[in-house]
Chains A and B, each alone.
Chain A
Amino acid sequence: MNAELVGPDVLQRVLTEAMARGGEFAEVFAEDRTTSSAMLDQRRVEELSSGRDRGAGIRVVVGDTTGFAHTADLSESGLLGAARAAAAVARGGGGGVHEVALGAIAAHPSRALVAPGDVDKARKIELMRHADDVARSEGSSITQVSVALGDSTRRFVVANSEGVYASDHQVRTRFNVTCIATGDVGMQTGYRPIAGTRGFELLTPDAVGEAALGAARQALTKLDARPAPSGDLPVVLAGGSGGILFHEACGHGLEADAILKQASVYAGKVGEQVASPLVTLVDDGTVDGEWGYLAVDDEGRPGARNVLIENGVLTDYMWDYLRSRKEGRASSGNGRRQSYQHLPMVRMTNTYLMGGESDADEIIAQTPYGVYVAQLGGGQVNTATGDFVFGMTAAFMIEDGHITAPLRDCNLIGNGPDVLKRVDAIASDFSMTPGTCGKNGQSVPVGCGQATMRLTGITIGGASA
């Protein structure tokens, strides 16, 4: 696994070939990914799977046009063929010889302490069984437990015609527990993920047991859930998964591809007060070990901490190579791609709301009536209108400042610029949660974070009047 994917001489020749028809920019991204997954369902080890995918994506930019080709053939002839296919968009032909010279590589070794490949498969199964046991110890109403463990080792090297030459070795590990509780009126689900840009050291018996317990208790609690209310109510979001709110309410709208196409409600708003003064929002690829951590992005740019909103004022967008080139500025390290088969685009890494000074319990105590959301599921946004939704998978009523009845799952819906102004309290109990972000058909791992916070109102999409 430590051999070079593609050597510097080959990269130079391939880049030169890619530029030969008049390209203004060319890039080779070669990747080798190994994955493994295991599933324990109803105490049966159902399936262990292993996968390997390797290949290279080559892009050539001419004016505002990008040509892209990918190949699973990492030989020099395979790469040269892909380079010519990508360069076909340079219709001017000619262009003269542009020799590309690469300097020293910026190499980033794996930061995993225990590489997934070094872990005995029996040990993985033992951990999954432990989670199953812990979940079932919560009582016979837990009728189903399924546990999934997966890891991926992704090595890539990226080089471009401007001399960027970098590699990364990313190891990610995840562990999900899903429980189903059965009661008199049907079934309810509970879910807890553990995920990090780490090796197997992430999965201690304690961490796994805690996730199992959380998933089981969540399902059990929801057995008594009543339909969520319908309409505009104050909402307190627990720390951690609540960060999805900002991911959807403004994160996607701050990605420069949407901005440059005037397809975001935040276009042209740098310097303006777009959120409550309590809001300071950061996207940060350097949070070590988090799900969205990266040493370099998929364009070879170092991961960075970028402040997007400071005390409610919009300070900057997120940028990849292509969009920053158009604006004559530097990339912010947000160029990401699902695999070598995809073009990079502007993506979030770890996006979080900075913690505040309030006390989480006090925020709840000072909310006479509303909804407490303990866990959020996914969400979706229309960046052009700003309307977004996110799902609550564990929630309760707040009555007279106390958390009371559990609520059934539903979506919440709001408009980003409006909701950002409705943040009126942020606590100090910051935490992060992993998620998978989908955009234009590409999925990448991201982190979301925040402390407990309150919105003065947002629409709860429940079924009860």
Chain B
Amino acid sequence: MSELIAQAERLLESAKGSEEVELFLARGVDTEVQAYQGEVEELTTASSSGIGVRILRDNAAGAQIGTAWAGSLDDQAIENAIKEARENARFATQDEFIAFARPDGVTASALTLTDESVASTPLDEKIAMAIELERLVRSGDRRIRQVDAANYSDYIAEAAIVSTMGIRAAYARTGAYVSVEAIATDGSDDQTGWGLSAGRAPRDLDLAQAAADAIRRSTRMLGAVKPASFKCSAVFDPRTAATLFAIIGGALSGEAVVRGRSFFANRVGEVVAAPSFTLVDDPTDARHFSASPYDGEGLACRRNVMIERGELRGFVYDTVSARRAGTVSTGSAVRGGVAGSPSAGCRALQLSPGDIDQAEIFRRVGNGVFVESLIGVHSGVNSVSGDFSVGVTGLMIRDGQLAEPLREITVASTLQRMLLDVIHVGNDVEWLPGSAAGQTVAIANIAVSGS
């Protein structure tokens, strides 16, 4: 890791005159195995690296930023990227709010996000896990007719962010996943179900649970029917709830707010959600797979309370969106790899757990829909207007119990309304890949569209 910092520090010396330079260096090693019919179908081993460069020119009327990136850490590629970024900066509009992050005195949390066993586990063992996962699903239920993808993957990733403003941040992370898709049949109807397990290392993975998940989700959908349209309460399982939280997190971005693209704008201090709803973004909680000591600008990540007992408390900011809003960064810059520039975003959302389990939520809801998977989230959610309409598969809840499976339906409401309509929050927190943990939540007044 210190190697990356050292390389970056050397590169900073190329800064010219009064310009400021920020460099984001990343490298990683990935392994992916896909098993099919007891054999390795695909085996990928790869290492990759890259650099993101941002150059800031400060003028009387404001600053300009130009960016460039390269999928390599060799000197020639980096030199070219620096030159390109410098050239690009000339064309940006001078803007008084544009700035790079400055060290703000907040100490980064000491987090253990790596496990050396990702590197030390022999490839054959990783291959065996993918093959075993497929076998567990195929042999777990006679209704499973196909396993079209059983995958093992892991990564070792390192990154460093340094700047002429005094930023020096470096961190590493490892991760391992297995995932499997099962196709079940009852002779006339086919249904699919996903199972997954995630951790920091191969030994964290629970193959049996991933297999059981895929089997349960696919087989219990068999014979699914398309109901007539109706209105009811919907119970989202932890996975689909995590997707919901991540969408809400998008509207809590200070950047969306200062750009006037969030339905939360100008509502701090107001009640925006049900009293049971407390949502916190905390990348310093190492239980999140997305936990990180530093944000995308090299500031320490910190715990930010977004919504507390239904009241909107604030937004997450990076340096520029904070300046536009007249505040300071919350250490919440996120960036999508070396090609992406920092922007404000939630990284590790968690809803405060309730005190009842999923079965109790079914009992209290009585009649409704249990949502187990979502389809068309990117096409069905408008985070500016808040319109929400997503395809789902799941099951009816009748008299407090799961009943017949449902297919080819959508659930619809608006995000604003759904937050206020949260009626139950489960205690079954599931730590998932992505920017949010999940737990079962029940939401009232959902329109279900069917035939």
Q: Are B91 and A121 in contact (CB under 8 A)?
A: yes
Question: With A89-B40, A459-B450 given, is the CB distance from A414 to B385 under 8 Å?
Answer: no
Asked if B170 is at the interface (CB within 8 A of a chain A CB), the reply is: no
Give A385 to B229 CA distance when docked, in angstroms.
21
Asked if B264 is at the interface (CB within 8 A of a chain A CB), the reply is: no
Q: Are A48 and B91 in contact (CB under 8 A)?
A: yes
Asked if A387 is at the interface (CB within 8 A of a chain B CB), the reply is: yes
Give A62 to B43 CA distance when docked, in angstroms.
12
Q: How far is the CB of B240 from chain A (nearest CB, A)?
A: 14
Asked if B329 is at the interface (CB within 8 A of a chain A CB), the reply is: no
B68 / chain A contacts, CB cutoff of 8 Å: 49-51
Asked if A329 is at the interface (CB within 8 A of a chain B CB), the reply is: no
Q: How far is the CB of B127 from chain A (nearest CB, A)?
A: 10
Contact of B80 among A52, A53, A409 (CB under 8 A): A52
Q: How far is the CB of A37 from chain B (nearest CB, A)?
A: 9
Asked if A8 is at the interface (CB within 8 A of a chain B CB), the reply is: no
Query: Which residues of B, 32-70, contact A by the 8 Å Cβ criterion?
Result: 36-37, 39-50, 65-70
B92 / chain A contacts, CB cutoff of 8 Å: 44-48
- Stretch in A12-20, A96-104, A226-234, A347-355 touching the partner: A226-234
Asked if A365 is at the interface (CB within 8 A of a chain B CB), the reply is: no
Give A270 to B43 CA distance when docked, in angstroms.
32
B449 / chain A contacts, CB cutoff of 8 Å: 230-231, 413, 459-462
Asked if A328 is at the interface (CB within 8 A of a chain B CB), the reply is: no
Question: With A65-B40, A186-B386 given, is the CB distance from A415 to B391 under 8 Å?
Answer: no
Q: Are B46 and A341 in contact (CB under 8 A)?
A: yes
Q: Are A53 and B43 in contact (CB under 8 A)?
A: no
Q: Are A41 and B259 in contact (CB under 8 A)?
A: yes
A465 / chain B contacts, CB cutoff of 8 Å: 229, 231, 447
A64 / chain B contacts, CB cutoff of 8 Å: 36-37, 39, 41
The contact size tier of chain B is 35 or more
B67 / chain A contacts, CB cutoff of 8 Å: 47-50
Q: Are A69 and B45 in contact (CB under 8 A)?
A: yes
Contact of A384 among B65, B84, B93, B183 (CB under 8 A): B183
Query: Which residues of B, 65-82, contact A by the 8 Å Cβ criterion?
Result: 65-72, 74, 77, 80-81
**Interface residue count for A (Cβ, 8 Å)?**
77
Give A391 to B376 CA distance when docked, in angstroms.
7
Q: How far is the CB of B266 from chain A (nearest CB, A)?
A: 12
Asked if A198 is at the interface (CB within 8 A of a chain B CB), the reply is: no
Question: With A41-B259, A385-B192 given, is the CB distance from A414 to B408 under 8 Å?
Answer: yes
Contact of A411 among B37, B146, B190, B410 (CB under 8 A): B410
Q: Are A54 and B71 in contact (CB under 8 A)?
A: yes
Give A283 to B74 CA distance when docked, in angstroms.
41
Question: With A46-B92, A380-B376, A390-B379 given, is the CB distance from A144 to B260 under 8 Å?
Answer: yes
Q: Are A378 and B378 in contact (CB under 8 A)?
A: yes
Q: Identify the closest chain B residue to A53 (Cβ).
A: B71
Q: Identify the closest chain B residue to A85 (Cβ).
A: B45
Give A389 to B377 CA distance when docked, in angstroms.
9
Q: Identify the closest chain B residue to A49 (Cβ).
A: B67
Give A231 to B409 CA distance when docked, in angstroms.
9
Q: How far is the CB of B190 from chain A (nearest CB, A)?
A: 6
**1/0 per residue A171-189: CB within 8 Å of B?**
0000000001000001111
Asked if A408 is at the interface (CB within 8 A of a chain B CB), the reply is: yes
Give A462 to B382 CA distance when docked, in angstroms.
13
Give A380 to B261 CA distance when docked, in angstroms.
25
Q: Are B385 and A411 in contact (CB under 8 A)?
A: no
Closest 7 CB pairs of A and B: A461-B410, A391-B379, A389-B376, A53-B71, A410-B389, A48-B88, A411-B380
Query: Which residues of B are at the interface with A, using a C-beta cutoff of 8 A?
Result: 36-37, 39-50, 65-72, 74, 77, 80-81, 84-85, 87-89, 91-93, 95, 145-146, 148, 183, 190-192, 226, 228-229, 231, 259-261, 263, 339, 341, 375-376, 378-380, 382, 384-387, 389-391, 393, 407-414, 447-451
